[in-house]
Amino acid sequence: MLTRLILPGVTRVWLRLPGEDEPATIAASTARALFALGVGLGPRHAVPRSKRDLPEVTVDGPARFFVSGVEVGEKRGLRTIRVGLGHVLDLLSEVGALNEVRRRAYPVPGSTGRASHLAGGVAGDVPAEEFVDVATAQQRFDDMIAAIGQGRRAVLVQDGTPVAVMLPWSLWRDMNAELAWAQYVRWATWGEDGVFDAETHVALLRGGPPSTEDLRAHKLGRERHE
């Protein structure tokens, strides 16, 4: 559907963030894009967040909102902008959650928390990852296997270009578990009506898949009952 937002003269669109006293303006082009997005999402789209969590949207002058040539009124137009804005905010939250999954699956050496567990950080000042020339790796293969068994990772380099990675099986398993969980959550949070539940999606991603310890405990409990 074609949309049109007319902001004559010096009319501006304002956003007031929850908990903030001072509003902020957004560009007219941004307001038009959010209006078009809200219209495209349709009236059945449910913003998966409390209205209290959404910025208040106002205009300080006359504004006219059109959908397919029909004027829908200022109140409905501003509400549609909020729908578009809520969708954008949820997408940003989803991106943040996916980045967290990526951080867990591809940890930075020396980081703390779950990423450190996945990296299998080695005690002391020994780096958890090193770059090794292929020829050197062939000469040191047994020593490298022993180090990788202790949690080290090795990036194999040939002619100055990384070509392969050697890493512990537990890290490879956990990385694939994280990826499989993200893919499952992505599809499981689409409703039968075709509406994407972003709030549940983000919550599941942030919770992460069951840990190895949880799975081991579940397996032991099942074996006891068999």
Region of residue 109 (left: phi > 0; alpha: psi -120 to 50; beta: else): beta
Which of the two residues, 211 and 171, has the higher pLDDT score? 171
**In the prediction, which pLDDT does 88 show?**
80
155, containing H or E segment: strand 153-158
Q: What is the CATH number of domain 121-167?
A: 3.40.1620
H-state helical runs in 56-207: 74-105, 114-119, 134-139, 141-149, 169-188, 198-207
Return the structure tokens found at 136. Answer: 């050197």
Coil, strand or helix: which one is 79? helix
User: Mean pLDDT across the chain, nearest whole number?
Assistant: 75
Tell me the backbone φ, ψ of residue 7, rounded to 5 degrees: -120, 90
pLDDT grade for 124, boundaries at 50, 70 and 90: very low
pLDDT grade for 223, boundaries at 50, 70 and 90: low
Q: Does pLDDT of 226 surpass 80?
A: no
**In the prediction, which pLDDT does 185 show?**
80
Lowest-pLDDT range of 70-74, 110-114, 220-224: 110-114
**In the prediction, which pLDDT does 102 show?**
55
How long a stretch of residues is the chain?
226
Instruction: Please report, for the chain, the start and end positions of each structural domain, with discontinuous segments joined by +.
Output: 3-96, 121-167
Give the integer Cα–Cα distance in Å for 92 and 86.
10
**In the prediction, which pLDDT does 164 show?**
92
Chain centroid to Cα 88, Å, comes to 12
Q: What are 174-191's pLDDT values in tens digits? A: 888 878 887 888 788 887
Region of residue 121 (left: phi > 0; alpha: psi -120 to 50; beta: else): beta
Q: Taking a C-beta distance cutoff of 8 angstroms, is the pair 81, 57 a contact?
A: yes
Neighbours of 111 (CB within 10 A): 15
Q: What are 26-49's pLDDT values in tens digits? A: 888 888 888 888 888 776 555 545
The residue assigned the tokens 């559907």 is 1
| DSSP count for the chain of H helices, then E strands | 8, 9
Return the structure tokens found at 197. Answer: 């539940």
The 3-state DSSP composition of the chain as helix, strand, coil percent (nearest 5) reads 50, 20, 30
pTM attached to this predicted model: 0.45
Lowest-pLDDT range of 73-82, 167-176, 177-186: 177-186
Q: What are 147-165's pLDDT values in tens digits? A: 898 888 899 998 888 899 9
